[in-house]
Structure 1
Amino acid sequence: MKIRRVASATIASGALLALAACGSDGGNESQAPAPQAPATSAPGNPADNTASADGVTTASDVYGPGCSEVPTSGEGSVGGMVDDPVATAASNNPLLTKLVAAVKATNLVDTLNSQQAITVFAPADPAFDALGAKFDELAGKPTELAPILQYHVVGKRYDRDGLEQAGTVDSLNTAGGPLRIEGSGENMTVNGAKVLCGNIPTKNATVFVIDKVLMPGTNQ
């Protein structure tokens, strides 16, 4: 937030040549670090979530059918990810190894970690597996991979309710077209990709683990 191991997801999550350029963008409101997750919080239970103006969530807000596959303890757990910036949080989660590899291949770890308030749609490992040999090919072509990763990052922090209210959001890869948010609750989709585990808190991002890799220009 296996999903095959989700979380913080983070994305490569998120990973973007343009992230650095928009790091000081006025659209990125400065956010306080996500609150410390309660020790008793358990992922996998839909939250009684109320929309947060700043998009910051806690472990009790995590929801989705895939959250049960998130580790329940350690740095890769929901509680363990909350204090780390998004790229670091994702690297500690065994469900997001392919995303982390993509972020490292494009040298975007520091760029993602330095952002103040973002939303990351993080494809779970099976989503990258579905690309087959294409993923390995892209991993060797950072200039082609980076815009794809950038399309998974929004330069503003949203929680689930905020995304539902927005309807569409712009990624850092604006040329790829807006991201379409449909459904609600545990049936939310992003450009047709299902949210497996959402509202995952990290220090500087809210993460939504999804079941597909989003491709720029294919808003459907």
Structure 2
Amino acid sequence: MKKPFRIAAIGALAALTVTLAACGSSSTGAGTTASAPASASAPASASASAAASSGVTTNADVFGPACNMLPQGDAPGSLNNMGPQPVATAASTNPLLTTLVTAVGKVPGLADTLNSQKAITVFAPYNGAFDAVQTALGSQAFNDLLANPTQLGGLLSYHVVPQRYDAKGLVAAGTTTELAGGTLKIGGTPEAPTVTDGKGNTANILCGNIPTSNATVFVIDKVLMPAS
């Protein structure tokens, strides 16, 4: 990511965290999606040594309770459709991520920046996670956030790791450092990882190990917040 954007993002995160402090305990809407029927896809595995070292996954590695909510076959938003595309383009057709895609589109150049990265990991809050933030902040404050590209860009960049991991690699690493600065703590198991943000809020994986051409994506049930 370009250095000026990263510096601006770090400054924005401190102010944004104060605004969003109430959101950590209110992201309860995620539980509905997490209880969806189990995916028919196979659980994450170390089926290939390359996946463990590079973070590159295949459709067979995808896991999570919401994966069966994705379109099937070659339809837009399906695993087959997303896999060959760079991450921002791939996410644009994923029905779990429409709010995230809208938010990315409000930060000039962010989609192109994400698409141009060579190997990244993206923690992608599903639509219900943003609904919970909107409920906690109120509609006006939430819309103000979406209208502030500096703050919004900082928040979204806190969900991106400048290294590509699969689930097994994330759990083995234990922590990740984000593009915007700050860290995340990884817990759980490769079959059910958890992601804890700087405020101590823990997100669960709804659909993980999603492959795109330049990123591995983990759909999560909360919007992550930095420590300060």
TM range (shorter): 0.7 to 0.9
Q: Cα gap change, 1:183/1:210 in structure 2, threshold over 3 Å: closer, same or farther? A: same
Aligned residues of 2:57 and 2:210 also touching (Cα < 8 A): yes
Residue equivalent to 1:17: 5
Deviation at 1:43, TM superposition (A): 5.6
Residue 126 (structure 2) pairs with residue 138 (structure 1): no
Q: Give the SS at the match of 2:128.
A: helix
| 8 A Cα contact 1:128 1:135, kept in partner | no
Question: Displacement, 1:187?
Answer: 2.7
- Is 1:159 the counterpart of 2:159 in the alignment? no
- Cα RMSD (Å) of the superposition? 2.0
Matches within 5 A, 1:65-84: 65-73=65-73, 74-84=75-85
Q: List structure 1 runs of 4+ shifted beyond 6 angstroms.
A: none
Equivalent in the alignment of 1:47: 44
Q: Please name the residue that 1:185 is paired with.
A: 190
TM-score, structure 2 as length reference: 0.74
Asked if 1:96 corresponds to 2:97, the answer is: yes
Greater percentage in helix: 2
The whole-number CA distance in structure 1 between the counterparts of 2:167 and 2:130 is 24
Unmatched segments (≥5 aa) in structure 1:
1-15, 22-41
Give the TM-score, by structure 1 length: 0.77
Q: Which residue of 1 aligns with 2:59?
A: 59
What's the secondary structure of 2:54's corresponding residue?
A: coil
Is residue 43–residue 78 contact of structure 1 (8 Å, CA) maintained in 2?
no
Note the C-alpha offset of 1:207.
0.2
**What corresponds to 1:112 in structure 2?**
114
Instruction: State which structure, 1 or 2, has the greater radius of gyration over its C-alpha atoms.
Output: 2
Q: In the TM superposition, what is the alpha-carbon distance from 1:70 to its structure 2 partner?
A: 1.3
**Aligned with residue 175 of structure 2, among 168, 174, 184:** 168
Q: Percent identity at matched positions? A: 54
Q: How many residues in Structure 1 have an aligned counterpart in Structure 2?
A: 180
Report SS of the residue matched to 1:57: coil
Q: Secondary structure at the match of 1:72?
A: coil
For the 8 Å contact 1:43–1:70, the answer to whether it is kept is: no
Checking the alignment, whether the CA contact within 8 Å between 2:167 and 2:191 is kept in structure 1 is: no
What's the CA shift string for 1:36-75, capped at 9, x where partnerless? xxxxxx8643133345211100000001111111111312
Name the CA distance, whole Å, in 1 between partners of 2:191 and 2:80: 21
With a CA cutoff of 8 Å and minimum separation of 6, indicate the structure with the bigger relative contact order: 1
Q: What are structure 2's unaligned runs of at least 5 residues?
A: 10-38, 197-201
User: Equivalents in 2 of 1:47, 1:157: separation in Å?
Assistant: 15
Residues 108-136 of structure 1 show CA distances to partners (whole Å, capped at 9, x for unaligned) of 11111011000000000000011112432
